[in-house]
Chains A and B, each alone.
Chain A
Amino acid sequence: MAGGQQRKQFVPAEAFVEAARRLGASKADAYWTASEELPVSFAYNRLESIQHKRSAAVVLRVAIDGRVGVATGSWGEAPEDLAGRAIEIARSANPGDLDLPPAAPLPQVETHDLALDALTPEQLVALGEDAIRRLRQAGEELQAGTELVVSTDHVALANSSGFSGSYTSGSAGVMVEISSAKETNIFTGYDGEEFGRAAEVQPHLRQMADRLAKLAQVAQRTRRPTASRYPVLLHPAAFANLMMPFVQSLNGRAVRQGVSRFRKDQFGSLITSEKLTLVDDPTLPYGVASAPFDDEGTPTQRNPLITAGKLSSFLLDRESAVELQMAPTGSAWRGDQPTAGPSNIVVEAGEQPMQDLLAGIEKGLYICALMGAWAGNPYAGQVGGTIAFGFWVEHGEPVARVTDAVFSLNLFRDLPHCLVALSSERSLGRATLPWALLDDVPIAAQ
């Protein structure tokens, strides 16, 4: 990465596995990650900081005497020391075993655009300055900010069943923000996307900045809606809040635990709106979370979770797959221990442009950001949040920023009748999502 130093040679993951075997472990896997980040941030219309972050960690799992232990270490720790700590903590574990995949053919997945590595701090500063200029078109009294973060991650995994693999992935995340404070009338609007290709950064950043600047001009006017049910267009960032209960409830561990409302005998059954197709796709070319294998070493695959409203699959790591008597889907990701989770979440686009969906709203809301919606109860499907940056729409045009209003929906109960259409454009990132037009959405207000 530009601005970086030459990377040191890491102790190979295989060396940790071998050390564990030498100390008596019957099975082991070792997972290395080394990351570099180059964040350039602007706040209050000016360059705030240029940073360069480097981190590295290794995780060793061992099975010994019918128990599993896990230890994490950092640069410089000898394989024998880490293996010794993993074996020591295994002594306190409950009976268990490691299910480790053998070597297997891996899919060809494009994960690393080398052009990202060539982005220099100077180029990122120039991109940021351009974004600030565009945001400030909304008004000189507004405060604009932006952050650009170029990341590179190196992953290596080896296990005692013969698996050995590594890959490098890269991404560029961009965020734009604009805020205004006039006495006690304060608002902040923001947007963000993440890309796997360097060529996507500039056009998307400009588009986001221009779109946000236009909305910020409208945001100077405010309106308190009356409590009622309205048609609502959700920006992809707000729509992401509605997808989280699905993603969490379709996690194999939640299904196995019984906290999810979904079961495998529902495969093929309609569980939500037929307009919704939700896919987890770690094989997406240059996807932000793309990888040829998951963090247990299972080959990745495109995994349709909901197809035209029908339940298709779960996110399965090896443990939940065994317990549900299914095949793992290559959906194990980790901090220290692997657990089932999403990679690149993709909602299939609709047919109408977002502007057409907006134009069809006679009186309703356009919600760009919900505040606190993450703090709900995902397994109950409840999504509720204050409208942090949203607009009152009349005759297809946002005319004023909405204040003092709360969005509330039970996703599982309400989406089948609420979801009207999805846009043809999508926002990019770990979640590739369209704009979503809903109808009959309850809005609580002062």
Chain B
Amino acid sequence: MQGLTEALRQKCRRNDVRYMEIRVEERQSTAISFRGPKLERLTAGKSAGGNVRVLVGDGWGFVSFYDLEELDAAIASAVEQANLANRYATEQVTLAEVAPVVEQVPLLLTGEDPRSVSVQEKKELLAAYNERILSTVGVTSSQVHYTDAWVRVTFVNSEGTAIEQEKVDLGGNLGAIATRDGDTQQDFVSFGSTGSFDVLRGLEAQVEDAAQRAVTLLDAQEVQGRPYTVILDPVLAGVFVHEAFGHLSEGDNVAGDANLLETMQLGKRFGRPILNIYDSGLDVGSRAYLKYDDEGVPTQKTYLLREGVLVGRLHSRETAGKLGERPTGNARAINWRYPPIVRMRNTCIEAGTTPPADLFADVQDGIYAKGAYGGETTHGNFTFRATSAYRIKNGKLAEPLKNATLSGNLFETLQNIDAIGSDQTQCESGGGCGKGGQVPLPVAQGAPHIRIQNLLVGGAQ
């Protein structure tokens, strides 16, 4: 352990609080962007800061700081706020117990360390992809973004836990833009990893496909808005499981509402027996991977649905304590400026048994939706936007469609998943999830192709 960790442990030994934690983060980063042929951004970043979170009675206080010399003042301020919050507390706070951990977690790579690749080489690699995009007939511009970061987080708490963790995280998008007669369409390749820079190599064919799809979308018809049988590709199925079910499985979204908790009672059936969903923090190399969460709890694989039945949810120590369940290592903060809240990691639909081609075979009038601009949920309802879509007629792919917004009620839609492909694709993207003002948090998804009956697609009337 470094001297910093020991110094922080000393600060955590107080008698006037129920619980205290200190998290200090150091970060070094690189950002490279092209917009059209122009190198628009080339930045070397460095930042450091930390925070103190304190529980007094049943009230929380949280203070972030950018100067470690202000730690004592930050602790005093957090205690003061926690005392104030405790005066207004109306509910008991119970932190689920976890065994104290003292560990130095080394950087875990699966391949090429992005720090070993020079900025010049990174720029040239991205420039080559950018040129490939711009040379596609019909493409008028591009947007290429890359970021990487090395992060070391030191976490200590008043229960004796002291953890140092290092990680590298990289991600980005290689995007093509096609413009014609006032219409602009785009598509992109997204990538991300905490394990290796290799994920950015060998993407030439994918980049060419994305550029071609952007051009094709210029001639695509606008989708007619109505319910369809919809087949989602693994990327979009991953966004679906994240938005539609993942967020409703986050303990803080259900713990405070007795009615919602009743709806989300463990043991209830939400889907057909073919449907299995889990969240995992154990997938080394994934942007969602880390050995311990931001409360010092080991990450794990947590089944949410098994054979269509609700069997688990995601927790911080507080939400687990409130519901009498076990913490799952899902308390996460995007950086030192924020407290940890319950977040997903790598959220997956398990592969089924239907060969993907067979999903299409008996669809007379449907839509095949691919890729995702993003999605959003308000618990019971969700929406997400496909980057491209195709009509399915009599079991065959037909004309391309654009502007497909998919929308539904979570509970009905889960029941309407009637076939799950036997394929499985892990999706690591350059984007992230937003919740509680903390965006973008690196997450990942894994999914096969899935088929949903009677899913509403927004569009022209």
User: Which listed residue, B42, B141, B460, B461, touches A89 by the CB 8 Å rule?
Assistant: B42
B interface residue count range (under 10 / 10 to 19 / 20 to 34 / 35 or more)? 35 or more
In the bound complex, how far is the Cα of B89 from the Cα of A106, in angstroms? 48
Residues of B within 8 A of A91 (CB): 120
Surface stretch bound by A, among B180-188, B205-213, B291-299: B180-188
In the bound complex, how far is the Cα of B334 from the Cα of A53, in angstroms? 14
In the bound complex, how far is the Cα of B267 from the Cα of A406, in angstroms? 32
In the bound complex, how far is the Cα of B47 from the Cα of A57, in angstroms? 8
Does A227 lie within 8 Å of B379, measured CB to CB? no
Surface stretch bound by B, among A160-168, A354-362, A380-388: A380-388
In the bound complex, how far is the Cα of B321 from the Cα of A290, in angstroms? 44
* With A259-B184, A337-B43: A49-B85 Cβ-Cβ less than 8 Å: yes
Query: B31, B36, B45, B372: which has the most chain A beta carbons within 10 Å?
Result: B45
Residues of A within 8 A of B64 (CB): 51-55
The reply to whether the CB of B231 lies closer than 8 angstroms to some CB of chain A is no
The reply to whether the CB of B405 lies closer than 8 angstroms to some CB of chain A is yes
In the bound complex, how far is the Cα of B411 from the Cα of A261, in angstroms? 40
Chain B 5-35 against A: per-residue CB contact (8 Å), 1 yes, 0 no?
A: 0000000000000000000000000010001
CB distance from B186 to the nearest CB of A (A): 7
Does A259 lie within 8 Å of B405, measured CB to CB? no
Residues 162-189 of B contacting A (Cβ, < 8 Å): 177, 179, 182-186
Chain A 305-349 against B: per-residue CB contact (8 Å), 1 yes, 0 no?
A: 000000000000000000000000000000011010000000000
* With A92-B118, A372-B385, A386-B381: A379-B179 Cβ-Cβ less than 8 Å: yes
Residues of B within 8 A of A71 (CB): 43-46
Surface stretch bound by A, among B192-200, B254-262, B274-282, B357-365: B254-262
CB distance from B458 to the nearest CB of A (A): 3
Surface stretch bound by A, among B65-73, B95-103, B105-113, B419-427: B65-73
The reply to whether the CB of B61 lies closer than 8 angstroms to some CB of chain A is yes
Does B225 lie within 8 Å of A408, measured CB to CB? yes
Does B461 lie within 8 Å of A442, measured CB to CB? yes
The reply to whether the CB of A445 lies closer than 8 angstroms to some CB of chain B is yes
In the bound complex, how far is the Cα of B338 from the Cα of A53, in angstroms? 8
Does B226 lie within 8 Å of A183, measured CB to CB? no
* With A121-B84, A181-B260, A336-B41: A386-B184 Cβ-Cβ less than 8 Å: no
* With A8-B67, A384-B405: A442-B42 Cβ-Cβ less than 8 Å: no
Residues of B within 8 A of A88 (CB): 44
Does B259 lie within 8 Å of A50, measured CB to CB? no
User: Which listed residue, B67, B78, B376, touches A75 by the CB 8 Å rule?
Assistant: B67
User: Which listed residue, A57, A186, A408, touches B380 by the CB 8 Å rule?
Assistant: A186
Closest to B456 in A: A446
In the bound complex, how far is the Cα of B66 from the Cα of A407, in angstroms? 44
A-B residue pairs in contact (CB < 8 Å), sample of 25: A49-B85, A52-B62, A54-B65, A74-B46, A75-B48, A85-B44, A89-B44, A92-B119, A92-B120, A181-B257, A181-B262, A184-B411, A185-B380, A188-B379, A257-B141, A371-B376, A371-B377, A371-B378, A372-B405, A379-B184, A379-B186, A380-B184, A380-B403, A385-B405, A404-B409
